[in-house]
Amino acid sequence: MEISRQLGLDTEIAALERDFVAGRVDSPQYAARVHELWAELTDEHVTGAFEGAPWLSGIRETWAEIRAGGDYCAVVSLSPSFFVERLLGWGAHAAHGSVFPAVPFTEPVNPAGILDAAAKVKIANRLCEEFGVGLGDCVAYGDSLSDLELFGVVPVSVAVNADQRLVSLATHSYVGRDLRKAYELVRAAR
C-alpha cells in the first residue's frame, strides 16, 4: 500500500486489495498485477514508503527486549522482500517477504517466489529449526487474514488491529498503535 502511495496509485491498489481480500485474485496474481502497477518503481520510492509507513511505535524497543531475553524475532510478510528485509536493521533476526525482482524492475515476477498463508507456516517451521525452538515456544503477531494458518499452529497469538476472523482465532487481541502494549499482553499472561 505504501509503495503504491509513493507512486500515486492509491485508487489502483485499493481496488486490487479489495479483489485480494474477496478472493478474486490469489497471491501470485496479486504480485503480477502489482508488478505491472509498479513499473516506474525506484529505490527512492521504496525508501520513501518504508520511512513514511504508519509503523506501530515501539517496534525497535520490543525487539531489543526480546533479544535481551535470549529469544528471537522474525517477520514473515506477503509484502515484497525488498521492503520487508529493511526490518533487519530494526532488530529482527529474520525477515522474509515475497521475492520480487530487483528494483527497478527489469524482469518479470516469478510466481514461485510469492508467499501465501501456507508459506508463512513453512517459513515459521524452518526458522524454528534454525533457531532451535519449536512452534510451541512461539508467539505469532498478525493483522491480516494471511496470518490465519499461522495462528492455527502457534499456541499463543496476538491479533493486532486485525480483521474479526483473525481476532476470533487469536489468544490475545490488541487495538492501538504501540507494539510494546501488544507485547505486554503476552508477557503479563506468562
> What is the rounded distance in angstroms from the CA atom of residue 187 to the CA atom of residue 76?
22
pTM: 0.93
Closest to 63 in 3D by CA, of 97, 95, 96, 90? 90
pLDDT band at 190 (very low <50, low <70, confident <90, very high): low
36: which 3 cell numbers?
505491472
Amino acid of residue 11: T
Number of structural domains in the chain = 1
95-151 confidence digits (pLDDT tens): 999 999 999 999 999 999 999 999 999 999 999 999 999 999 999 999 999 999 999
Residue 124 included in any domain: yes
In a domain, 29, yes or no: no
Residue 107: give its domain's CATH number.
3.40.50.1000
Classify residue 44: in a domain, yes or no. no
